[in-house]
Amino acid sequence: MRFNLSSTALGSRLLTLSRVINSKNSLPILDCFLFSVHDGQLTVTASDSENVMRGTLNLENCEGEGDFAVNNHTILDAVKELPEQPLSLDVDMGEMKIYITYQNGSYNFPILNADEYPKAQTVSENATTITIDAGILSDNVNRSLFATAQDELRPVMNGIYFDLQADSLAIVASDGHKLVRNKNFMIKSDIPASFILPKKPATLLKNVLSKDGGDVVIRFDDRSADISFAEGNLSCRLIEGKYPNYNSVIPQDNPNQVTIDRKSLIGALRRVLPFASDSSQLIRFHVAAGLLELRAEDIDFATSAKESVTCEYGGNPMDIGFKGSSMLEILNNLESEDVTIQLADPSRAGIIIPGVQPENEDILMLIMPMLLND
């Protein structure tokens, strides 16, 4: 079997797929990429037994068909340093070796039998299907990942929750202290359905989805999901369990609204945060007419800082405490120039929304307050 393809195309695809492979695997074959050459196409598969990702490349010249496995480190090391040039790959299934020829040299190394490679878990025929624009899904996943938890006792919190309802698709993440809810009003279903996507496949998706458009088709049942996108496919096992009622923690009426320049607030937080206590990272927000004052204090080291930022606010003066690092994460994962912080009182969660919502979407972020010691 012999085929030709571009070194850059192969190298970039292998690098993307290599993120699936764990550093330590229970099965030695999972240290390998599975190469399948059929109908003038090369399909490369990587797996960690729970997540299976495939990428497809069109071949310029191809003689013969077949499947084989090759160690991921060996082939990555072989192609990643090559400049853009055509590669000729000659596979000898009798010797179980592959010969790669490039402009000024060649490599050869062993291959393994593809029969040992585990098969991906298939989604049932009555699976629910969601079709979503690749750029929108990438933005939503990117915006939500930071809010997922790392909680062994509540594994349902460790992923991104996709909640398909009659009016919208909500993509939600929360660790109990902060929450992100993205609503897309273009995607809806009369039959409610939901699933929890684990953090690893969500991160893999974020890295492969193109912002240039194209549709992503997600098929899912109770146990697994199959996600098809322009350059390949991802099959993964889902987190089983019931996600908490996220709507119940979102305050319905926070009357005090602070509208402020997002980058100015990020800058002020970065300057004040080093002077807060390392353990709590508590920042005191004091809002009054037209002004937001940030205060940080570390009694143990006798340090303190304060900074004022102009804002739009017409309510009563108020003090509320937030964890500085969590507030920074929220602001960094929004894109609008201005943000509105909706507050009720020092004991209720604050809501942060972008000044301008994306078309047909509703983005909301929530942060729980911290106790102030007056």
Please indicate, yes or no, whether residues 348 and 362 belong to a single structural domain of this protein. yes
Query: What pLDDT sits at residue 60?
Result: 79
Please indicate, yes or no, whether residues 136 and 171 belong to a single structural domain of this protein. yes
Please indicate, yes or no, whether residues 236 and 254 belong to a single structural domain of this protein. no
Residue 373 belongs to some domain of the structure: no
pLDDT band at 207 (very low <50, low <70, confident <90, very high): confident
- The strands making up 282-288's β-sheet, listed across from edge to edge, are 303-310, 291-298, 282-288, 318-323
Task: Enumerate residues 6+ apart whose C-beta is below 8 A from 23.
Answer: none
Please indicate, yes or no, whether residues 232 and 261 belong to a single structural domain of this protein. no
Domain boundary among 248, 273, 289: 248
Residue 241 belongs to some domain of the structure: yes
Please indicate, yes or no, whether residues 153 and 260 belong to a single structural domain of this protein. no
Query: What pLDDT sits at residue 212?
Result: 65
Strands 62-63 and 2-6: antiparallel
Name the 3-class secondary structure at 350: strand
320: closest CA among 299, 340, 293, 297?
A: 293
Please indicate, yes or no, whether residues 30 and 134 belong to a single structural domain of this protein. no
First to last CA, the chain: 76
Query: What pLDDT sits at residue 374?
Result: 66
Domain boundary among 248, 274, 305: 248
- Find the CATH number of the domain harbouring 93: 3.10.150.10
Average pLDDT rounded to a whole number, residues 191-207: 94
Average pLDDT rounded to a whole number, residues 160-177: 96
Domain boundary among 67, 84, 116: 116
Q: Which range of residues forms the domain containing residue 244?
A: 128-248
Number of domains in the chain: 3
Residue 330 belongs to some domain of the structure: yes
Phi, psi dihedrals of residue 265, rounded to the nearest 5° = -70, -40
Question: Is the model's pLDDT at 252 over the cut of 80?
Answer: yes
Please indicate, yes or no, whether residues 261 and 210 belong to a single structural domain of this protein. no
pLDDT band at 253 (very low <50, low <70, confident <90, very high): confident
- The strands making up 51-58's β-sheet, listed across from edge to edge, are 112-113, 66-71, 32-38, 41-47, 51-58, 232-237, 224-229, 215-220, 128-133
The tens digit of pLDDT for each residue in 3-57 reads 999 999 999 999 999 999 998 888 889 999 999 999 899 999 999 989 999 999 9
The tens digit of pLDDT for each residue in 60-89 reads 788 989 999 999 999 999 998 899 999 999
Could you say which DSSP state residue 153 is in?
S
Query: What pLDDT sits at residue 119?
Result: 82
Please indicate, yes or no, whether residues 102 and 173 belong to a single structural domain of this protein. no
Please indicate, yes or no, whether residues 83 and 165 belong to a single structural domain of this protein. no
Residue 121 belongs to some domain of the structure: no
Q: Which two tokens stand for residue 122?
A: 């298939």
* Mean pLDDT over each residue of the chain, to the nearest integer: 93
Please indicate, yes or no, whether residues 184 and 220 belong to a single structural domain of this protein. yes
Residue 316 belongs to some domain of the structure: yes
Q: What is the rounded distance in angstroms from the CA atom of residue 342 to the CA atom of residue 255?
A: 7
Residue 123 belongs to some domain of the structure: no
Please indicate, yes or no, whether residues 84 and 139 belong to a single structural domain of this protein. no
Dihedral sign, Cα of residue 137, residue 140, residue 146, residue 152: negative
Please indicate, yes or no, whether residues 66 and 169 belong to a single structural domain of this protein. no
Residue 293 belongs to some domain of the structure: yes
Query: What pLDDT sits at residue 214?
Result: 86
Residue 359 belongs to some domain of the structure: yes
